[in-house]
Amino acid sequence: MLHRRTLLSQAVASAGATLAGTFFPAIRQAAAASSKSSGGPKRVVFFLQNQGFDPKTCVPAGMTHSGSLAKVRLPEPISPLEPLKERLHIINGLHGLHTSPAHSAFFGALGGYRGDDGSPPLGPTIDYELSKQLPETLLPLLCIGMDSMENMKAKPTVANLSASGAGQPIFMHSNPNHLYQMLYGGISEGGIRRQHEARSHLFDRIEQMAGAHGKHLPMADQGRYSQFVRGFEDMNGLRARLGAASAHLRQFAPKVDERYTRPQFETDWHDALLDIGISALKSGITSVLTIGSGRGEIFGSWKGIGVQEQGHNLGHMEQPDNPIWIKIRQYNSRMLVRLVEQLESVREGSGTMMDNTLIVYTSNNADKQHTNGATWPVMLIGNCGGIFKTGCFTQFDGKRPINALYSTLLNVAGVNCDRFNMSDKMAAQFDAGKGPLKEILV
């Protein structure tokens, strides 16, 4: 079993005093924080499946009230989670009526506000807000998106789920070759290294040119143009930080195989993207990972697990007892199991990384496609040092919104937050309570 704190400390030492002082305060802070076994999550993973999450596919048969999962059997779609049942918390009865999810709530799913196709985000999303509070990392938030092979190739980056503020979307990465090159190109060899260096020179040149020419634009356009320039500055800054941490990162970089270069199905890329996301968590590159299966839209394809239907039509199928949706949900569940197993393989403090990690599984589309968002099921995995109740099911009465869950996450991360992205006026209509969801906390 690897000991993450030792590896991080070695990375700092090997970088030299100058580089350590410049590039590694984040790693030192993460290493210090990882020595604690409690006190809130050190990292959070959000996993959103499109087309909705029907409660009947996750709530055990006959459970209509809150209670223990110890003596019940999990529904078939999430049956791969049976070995993790003691760490699982199934939540039903939260709502997202105010997000108007319809086909998808898009940014509203993690933002807790009205979302629509093509509409910019109205504010920051919970994954970004948490990334500001958790131990600092080289890349605070990493977003990956899984879709059909055609969509992932045509649009290797899209922004539908995460945002740093109003009108500030955060892009998901869908091509594992591009993402691998971004995170690990500096420590690779051969073609990957050459592509990384060529792209690095190009981005440096673009940043220089953009910075020089933006000064000549009309004042009204300079604000938007400066965002464009900052994007390249952030990208080049990340590349420099990753390069300084190359000795440490080399121990966690996934092996590039035929799934990357010659995928047979889109699920090969899905699996590769998951491996990169896991490696980013284990290495300390990021503290928050957001996974969008279907990329927050109404598309998606899973031919690699024997599902021939794809896209919008999947949302018109009833999920309970549907063999197609059982395959998709079980595939998701196996991904969650892999996440847990990998984080358990790395020691952290007196336990493992999983002891300080929370996984949040839900949908960007409440319970189904064409929904009003009246019920929005969620599954939590992990207790973060005994903060969250586990091994249980909690049924709410439909009067508290998903925003209340997000304010709960912020509270356990150390932020005093009664409401998340919800004014008192809106809360008067959509939230019967205030503050965190005490029912899910120990």
pLDDT attached to residue 2: 52
Half-sphere exposure (Cβ direction) of 194: Cα atoms closer than 13 Å = 2
- 173/272 Cα distance (integer angstroms): 12
pLDDT attached to residue 199: 54
Beta bridge partners of 348: 351
pLDDT attached to residue 364: 98
Which residue in 166, 167, 144, 168 sits closest to 157, CA to CA? 144
State the amino acid at position 155 in one-letter form. K
pLDDT attached to residue 240: 75
pLDDT attached to residue 42: 94
Asked whether the beta carbons of 107 and 160 are under 8 A apart, the reply is yes
* DSSP string of 102-152, one letter each residue: BT--TTHHHH-S---TTPPPSS--HHHHHHHHSPP-SSSEEEEEE--HHHH
* DSSP string of 171-206, one letter each residue: EEE--HHHHHHHHHGGG--HHHHHHHHHHHHHHHHH
Tokens 């940014």 belong to 107
pLDDT attached to residue 329: 98
Q: What's phi and psi for 306, nearest 5 deg?
A: 90, 15
What is the pairing mode between strands 88-95 and 392-401? Answer: parallel
Q: Which residues neighbour 332 within 8 Å (Cβ) at sequence distance 6 or greater?
A: 47, 49, 293, 361
pLDDT attached to residue 182: 87
pLDDT attached to residue 74: 98
Asked whether the beta carbons of 34 and 135 are under 8 A apart, the reply is yes
State the amino acid at position 433 in one-letter form. G
36-177+256-440 CATH fold: Alkaline Phosphatase, subunit A (3.40.720)
Asked whether the beta carbons of 7 and 248 are under 8 A apart, the reply is yes
Half-sphere exposure (Cβ direction) of 361: Cα atoms closer than 13 Å = 24
Instruction: List the strands of the sheet with 67-68, edge to edge.
Output: 67-68, 392-401, 88-95, 378-381, 357-363, 43-49, 288-293, 141-146, 168-173, 157-165
pLDDT attached to residue 30: 42
pLDDT attached to residue 331: 98
Residues in the chain, total = 442
pLDDT along the chain (442 residues), means of 10: 46 34 37 47 97 98 96 98 98 98 96 95 98 92 97 96 95 94 74 52 49 58 54 62 81 93 97 98 96 96 96 93 98 98 95 97 96 97 95 98 98 95 96 97 96
User: pTM for the whole thing?
Assistant: 0.86
